[in-house]
Structure 1
Amino acid sequence: MAFSLCLLFVLGSIVFSLQDQTIPEVSSPQDETVRDVHSPDDQIVREIDRRLLLNDPQTILVQLEAIQREMQTLKTLVNSQQTKIQSMQTLETLVNTQQTKIQSLDTLVNSQHIQMQSLQSQLTKTANQGLGTTYTVWGRKNCPALNGTSTVYSGISAGSPYHVGGGGANTLCLTHNPDQPPSDFPTYREKDGWLYGSEYQFTYRNYAIDDDVPCAVCLAAYSTAVLMIPSKTSCPSSWNVEYRGFLTSQSATDGRPSYDYMCLHENAEYLTEGARQQNYNGHLFYPVITQCGSLPCPPYINAKYVTCVVCSK
């Protein structure tokens, strides 16, 4: 439709231009008139009037054939451009399809990566289960909730009384719900060992002197080793901090039995069973200080309290 309209427009333009042309009239040689025209500059222009009949079929046919050839050339060019445009559109569609596929694959890869990380974490936890180790935190009712550590039980610190020689040297974490021995077990005898509850012998932060000392037994489920390092508040490389605190033990008074050294939690609390600060003087927790001489100073400082840290791996 558009091509036909364009052809009619071109034909109309040609006819209109032919009507405006001045073409010499066909005549015999004797009827030809030659005139001299003098311009203001004395230039002579020879004019020969000729006329072309507008109804000459041969002339119109030649013009139409030329127009048809031009239109055919233009049509061929247009078709070629349309073919190129269609090819480009097809290529663009293909590129968009490939981009969509790439995005889908990228999403799939990310999803698989997350799943692999999750499976690896589960595998590590599964491999470590059953290989855990235990330790006791002194001065706290529950274990620190980190590094996969959980509370086995909450208890009461106890040990040999401060004023009696003999007995056990280590401090125990007793349970809150003891199981009684069988009824036929031997009864009290004069020289049996004694077990007393523990008391703080100093005041600091959350507790006061003569408050009872709680404890908790902890399971470090993903660790195979636990150690207490005195005089440090940080763990070696690749070890995890379970808790930090201060070194405690028995008083240095002559004739008193020796206790083990314990790492008392830096934010220790008091036992809530019974009244506070009842001075029964049982198993006592004293802080530990340094003494220069055989102990090198520096790096140590005389009469300074000693820090500690419990580490797991």
Structure 2
Amino acid sequence: MSILYWGFPLLPLLLKVECVSEKVPTKRLLLTDPNALLSRMEDMDRKMLAMNAQITDLKSQLDSVMKSHLKSGAVYTRWGRATCPEVNGTTILYSGIAAGRNYNDQGDGINTLCMPHNPDSAPLDLPVAPNQYHFGRIYGSEYEFSYKKAAYNDDVPCAVCYDIYASTSVMIPGKTLCPSHWTIQFNGFLTSDAHYSGHPGAEYLCMDSNPEYATEGARQQDYNGRVFYPVEAVCGSLPCPPYENGKYVSCVVCTK
């Protein structure tokens, strides 16, 4: 039975007022209760810590990916040229003059060096050699052939090159192209000392296909020193085909 107040049922109105009076204090309690605020702040802190951990993990993964792509770099020498190839990521460390032991000497070093144009002095307090056999010697180098811009007895230039995007380099004899996913730095032909009796020999090096002459010395002066000859293939243990007897051998320098 509803109680009438000014002609309206009173009970439903009281129930609505009661509901409002119950809800309003509840909302105010959630917004102003220090314990509730502290709980919400702690929850937000936990979420922030979790997000920071995720960001740190993602950054670590990104750094690993970047480091895997940014390799340590590869160094090689370009024989017969004073500049480095115009290959993306390749820069020159220095240019110089090819040098090694004299072609008919039995001692001294066996490897060929790229001597820079601006050498620094060795220590001045090094002891004086007691005789002529107690020190090594290094000589400049010459072409023993004429090809393109290089002439017989011209001095041999060189350039030491650095590929920032690579981690290794290789010289492949008998090829002019690199394996798949490798970068060609330059190709050319194989060289060594001559096949003469009494010559101690020299390492096999890849001469650039467009050799130039070093500009420091007089052209075509026969000083010998470290000499460069093209290398021929000899059939026998080296199968022919695919090699051809008496034909010069190609080469390529690759980086990856």
TM-score, normalised to structure 2's length? 0.72
Offset at residue 250 of structure 1 (A)? 0.7
1:125 and 1:222 in contact (8 A); partners too: no
Residue 124 (structure 2) pairs with residue 187 (structure 1): no
The residue aligned with 1:250 is 193
2:233 and 2:245 in contact (8 A); partners too: yes
Distance 1:145 1:174 in 2: 22
Number of residue equivalences = 191
Offset at residue 147 of structure 1 (A)? 3.1
**Residues 198-220 of structure 1, C-alpha deviation per residue, up to 9 Å, x if partnerless?**
10000000010000000000001
2:155 and 2:217 in contact (8 A); partners too: no
The residue aligned with 1:262 is 205
The residue aligned with 2:119 is 178
Offset at residue 256 of structure 1 (A)? 1.5
Aligned residue for 2:252, secondary structure, equals strand
1:128 and 1:223 in contact (8 A); partners too: no
1:147 and 1:240 in contact (8 A); partners too: no
Q: Which amino acid aligns with 1:142?
A: T
Q: 2:98 is matched with which residue: 157, 160, 167?
A: 157
Residue 233 (structure 2) pairs with residue 290 (structure 1): yes
Distance 1:137 1:262 in 2: 9
Q: Which amino acid aligns with 1:180?
A: S
5+ long unaligned stretches in structure 2: 1-63
Offset at residue 129 of structure 1 (A)? 4.1
The residue aligned with 1:210 is 153
Q: Which amino acid aligns with 2:89?
A: G
Q: Which amino acid aligns with 2:163?
A: A
Distance 1:124 1:205 in 2: 45
Larger RCO: 1 or 2 (CA < 8 Å, sep 6+): 2
The residue aligned with 1:166 is 107
Runs ≥4 residues deviating over 3 A: 123-130
5+ long unaligned stretches in structure 1: 1-122
Distance 2:112 2:236 in 1: 29
Distance 1:269 1:124 in 2: 41
Distance 1:126 1:239 in 2: 19
TM-score, normalised to structure 1's length? 0.59
1:149 and 1:220 in contact (8 A); partners too: yes
Equivalent positions of 1:25-64 (< 5 A) are none
More helix by share: 1
Q: Which amino acid aligns with 1:290?
A: A
1:233 and 1:309 in contact (8 A); partners too: yes
Offset at residue 270 of structure 1 (A)? 0.3
Q: CA RMSD in A?
A: 1.6
The residue aligned with 1:143 is 84
Distance 2:173 2:68 in 1: 31
Distance 1:275 1:207 in 2: 13
Cα 1:218–1:128 change in 2 (3 A) is: farther
